[in-house]
Amino acid sequence: MASWGDPAAQPMINNPDRRLRIFISSALDELEEERLAVRDTIARMRLVPVMFELDARPPVNPDVYRAYIDESQLFIGIYGESYGWVGSDSERSGLEQEFRAAGDLPKLIYVKSPANGRDPRLVALLDRIRHDAQVSYRRFHSADELRRVVGDDVALLLTERFNPGTPAPPENATRTPLPVPPNALLGRDTEQRALTDLLTRDDVRLVTLTGPGGVGKTRLALQLGATLGPTFADGVAFADLSAVTDPDSVGMAIATSLNLWTMPNQSAIDNAVAYLRDRSMLLVVDNMEHLTDAATVISTMLDTCPRLRVLATSRVPLRLTGEHVFDVPPLEIPDPLEDPRSAVRHGAAQLFVERARGVRSDFRPDGDGAAAITEIVRRLDGLPLAIELAAAKVRVLPLWVLAERLERGLGTLTGGARDLPARQRTLRDTIAWSYQLLRPEEQRTFARIGVFSGGFDLDAGSALVDTADRYAALETFTALIESSLVTQDVRGPEPRMAMLATIREFALDRLREDFDWAETHERHARYYLAFAEAAAPPVGQTSTDPAAVDLLAAEHDNLRAAINWFIDHDEMDQAVRLGWMLWPLWWLRGHIDEGARTVRRILEHADSMSPGAYAHALFGDGAIAFLSGDGEHGRVQLERVLPLLRELGDQDVNARAAGMLGQLALARGDYPQARALLGETKQISERIGELWMAALYHTRLALVPLNEGDYAAAAEQYADGLRVARKTEDHLGEVVALYSLAVTAVAAGDEPGAAGYLASGLRLSAAASDQAGSATYLEALADLAVRAGDPGRAVRLTAAARKLRAFAGTAWMQAYVPPWPHGAAPIDLDAPEYARERADGAGETMAASVAYALDGLSPA
C-alpha cells in the first residue's frame, strides 16, 4: 500500500486531511506506468491518491486495507492481462477483493486494450463489472490516453456526485428527428426487404451499410429508419458524423443527436449510455468511414444497452464484434439486349427519369431517348449519385450528347445540389473522399490496379503491385474492398476483384499524375502475355481442355488491353506472340472481327518486327480472311507468306498456310494444285506430330468426290478424317468431319444418318462452348425439321442459331465444311403463327437450345 499527494499525509484511519481520497487498484508489475499516470493526474487535481499494493505482497491485516477503502470517496480500477496475486487462503485475488470491498463507492474502471493474453479469471471479473450499473467502464490504449481521460472523468464525477445543483441527464430527451428526404426512394425494394429482415432479428444488433461513395447508403438508411422506427418503443434517432473530424468527438455527436444535456469535462458517451440503458431504440449513425478509430463507442453502447440497435453507414466495415456488414450495390441497370422502351422499369433508369423531371418538368423520353438513358446509366454503373448528377444536365444537353460526353470522363458529373456535402457535389469529389482515407501504400495499389480491365484475380493483382507475398497483397486488397473502392465477385472458382468504371477512371488519373504510369502498364502487359502462353491450348486441340479457352475468355479485356499496349509502344514481337496465343479465343468465341482488326494494326508496324513475327502476322491476316469468307484477300496474304515460312523453316505454320491454300484451290476447281498443297500439309503434320492437320487433309480432299457426286467415296474420306481426329482428340477436325458426313448423308438421301452425325457434332461444339460451330449445327438441324414437316421446330432452332451468331459473329466452320444442301421448301420465319417458337428460340440460353435440339436424337 502507498499514498501520494500531501507528503505529510500518511494514510491512516481518521486522518485529519479532509481532501477527497481516491483509491487506486491495479496490478503492480504489469501496469506500473499506468498507475503512475493516474497518481500524478489525481495529485495535480489537489486530491489524494491511495494505492494499496496487494499484488506486491499479501496484507498483514485485511482490516487495514478495508479501512483505507472505507475512508476513500472514489474507487479507480486499472486492469490489463493479470488477474493478480491470490493468497493461499483465498480463492480471489487482491484485485477482486479490493473491488468487492469498494461496495457502493463510485467506480471508474479502465481496461487496457488490446490484451490478447488476458487471464480468464480477469475476463470473468470484467464481465461482472461491465454490467454493474454503478460503474463507469472505459477502454484505453496507452498511459498518455489514460492520463487524459482520468482527469476528465474524475472532474465529471465530482460535478455530478458532489454538486447538488447539477441536473441529471433528462429522462425523456427530445431526439434529433430523421431528415426527411426530398424524393422517394427508387429501385431499392430488394435491399429494403433484406435489411428489414436483418434488423428485426433478435440476434442482430449492429448492421453496417457499406459501399462506394454515392451508392445511396444514407438514403437507404433513412428509409429504413422511417419504416422501422415505429417498431421500437422509444423510436429512432439519427446521428450525422459527416462534419465530425475528431474521433474523440463521436460520443458528443451521438449525445447531441439524443438532445442530452452535457457540460465541460463530461463524458458524453457515458451520458448517452445512461440514457439508452433501458430504452428500446434504433440509432442510425451516418458517415462513420473517417472515424473508425472511434467505432468502440458503438461497442460500448451495445454492451451496456441491451435493447439498443444500431444501423451505421460507412464506406468501410467497422470491424466490431457482432457486426453484420451489408454491401449496398449500385442500382439495377438494363440488359444491353433489352428493349430500351422497357428499360425504365429498372431502378437506375427510373432514378434518371425522376431526377431529370425535377430539372425539366416536360421531360418525356421517347424510344430513342430511352435507348440513350439505358446507355447513360450503364456507363455510370448504376451509381445513384452519378445518375443524379448526370440527370441534372438534361436542362442543357440532349440525351445522346450527354451519353457521348460521359464516355470522355468524370468532368461532366459536376454541379450537385447545394445542400449535399461538399464532397458529394461532384462524383470526383466523392471518390476522392474515400481515396484520401487510404494509407499511402493502399493509395499506390489503388492507382496501379486501375490498369486492369474487366477485373482481376489475386495473382494478377499481386504481380502488378510487385510483391511476391500473396498474403501481404491480400491485406492491401482487403482494405480497398472494405473501402468500397474495389468490388469482389466470389461466384467463380477463385474470387475476382474489379472497379466500377467511374472509380477506375479516377484511379487511372491518380496513376498518371502521382505514380508509375508506364511501368505499371508494362508490367500488366507482360503479366498477361505470360498468362496467355501458359493458359492457351494448342490450335486444333481445344477439345482436350475447353476450360483453357474459358481462362482466356475470363481475361479477355485484360488481354485486349495488353496487346494494344504492345502495339501502341512498338513492341511488335510481343504483340505477335500474344496474338498467336489469343487465336483460340478469337476463333471459338466469335471474335474473328476483333482478331482481324488487331492483326491489321500489327501489320502497320511491319518495319519494327523480326522476320518470324512478320511471317506470323502475315499468316494471321490471311487465315482470318480465309475463315471470314474473304477468299481473295486470304489467298493473296497466304501466297505471300508461304515462301517466307519455308525459308524460315517454320514447319507448323507452313503446314497451316499450305492447307488453307489447298482448300482455296479446291474451291476454284484446281484439283492438282489442291492435292500438292494438301499433300505438303499432310507430310509436315505427320513429321512434326500435329496430326490434327492430317485429319483436315482427309476432310478437305473429300470435297473432290463430294462435288463429283461420289457420296460413298466422300463418306469414306470423311470417316478417315474423323478417325484421325478422334485419335488425337482434335476438336477442329472432329466437328468438321461430323458436319461434312452429315452433308454427305443428306446429299445421299440418308436424313436419319445425317441427324445422328449432327447430334454428335453439336454435343462436341457445345461442350467446347463453341457458339459459332453450335449455330451452324442448329441451322442444319432446322433444315432437317423442315424436311420432316415440323416447321415450328425449325423456326425455334433457327431463332436460337441466329442468337448465337449475334454473339459469335461469322461461323469459322463455313471455311472448312461443304455448304449444307437445302432441299426443302423455305418457310416464312417471320410468320405470325410462329411467334411463340421464335420467342422461345431467341430467349433460350445456348445450353437450353442445345438440349432442345438433341431431344430425341441419337448420336452417330
- DSSP β-bridge partners for residue 497: 456, 488
Burial of residue 187 (number of CB atoms within 10 Å: 0-12, 13-18, 19+): buried
| pLDDT (0 to 100) of residue 416 | 46
Report the share of the chain in percent with pLDDT over 90.
26
Q: Which helix (H) or strand (E) holds 187?
A: none
At 541-585, the pLDDT tens digits run 444 456 788 889 889 989 999 999 999 999 999 999 999 999 888
* pTM of the predicted model over 0.75: no
At 243-267, the pLDDT tens digits run 677 787 788 788 878 877 554 445 7
Fold of 2-162: Rossmann fold (3.40.50)
Higher pLDDT, 556 or 368: 556
- DSSP β-bridge partners for residue 309: 282
| pLDDT (0 to 100) of residue 70 | 77
Range with lowest mean pLDDT among 310-319, 430-439, 647-656, 746-755: 430-439
Task: Answer yes or no: is pLDDT of 56 > 70.
Answer: no
- DSSP β-bridge partners for residue 107: 75, 135
**What's the rounded mean pLDDT across residues 639-658?**
93
Please give the DSSP secondary-structure letter assigned to residue 93: B
Task: Tell whether omega for the bond before 317 is within 30 degrees of 0, i.e. cis.
Answer: no
Highest mean pLDDT pick, 362-366, 486-490, 638-642: 638-642
Burial of residue 409 (number of CB atoms within 10 Å: 0-12, 13-18, 19+): middle
Amino acid at 507: A
Distance (Å, whole) CA 567 – CA 571: 6
Q: Side by side, which strands form the sheet with 236-240?
A: 236-240, 281-286, 308-313, 206-210, 323-327
At 148-158, the pLDDT tens digits run 888 877 876 77
Given a contact cutoff of 8 angstroms between Cβ atoms, the answer to whether 795 and 829 are in contact is yes
Secondary-structure class of domain 189-327 per CATH: alpha beta
Torsion region of 282: left, alpha or beta (phi above 0 gives left; psi -120 to 50 gives alpha): beta
At 165-179, the pLDDT tens digits run 444 444 444 455 677
| pLDDT (0 to 100) of residue 161 | 55
| pLDDT (0 to 100) of residue 44 | 78
Range with lowest mean pLDDT among 303-312, 338-347, 467-476, 766-775: 338-347
| pLDDT (0 to 100) of residue 739 | 93
Range with lowest mean pLDDT among 137-141, 413-417, 528-532, 656-660: 413-417
Range with lowest mean pLDDT among 95-99, 443-447, 677-681: 95-99
Nearest CA-CA partner of 793 in 841, 842, 754: 841
Higher pLDDT, 791 or 392: 791
With cell 496474338, the residue in question is: 579
Cα 168 vs. chain centroid, distance in angstroms?
49
Amino acid at 664: L
Task: Answer yes or no: is pLDDT of 522 > 90.
Answer: yes
Given a contact cutoff of 8 angstroms between Cβ atoms, the answer to whether 794 and 827 are in contact is yes
Q: What are phi and psi of 457, to 5 degrees?
A: -100, 180
Instruction: Extract the C-alpha cell encoding 632.
Output: 481473295
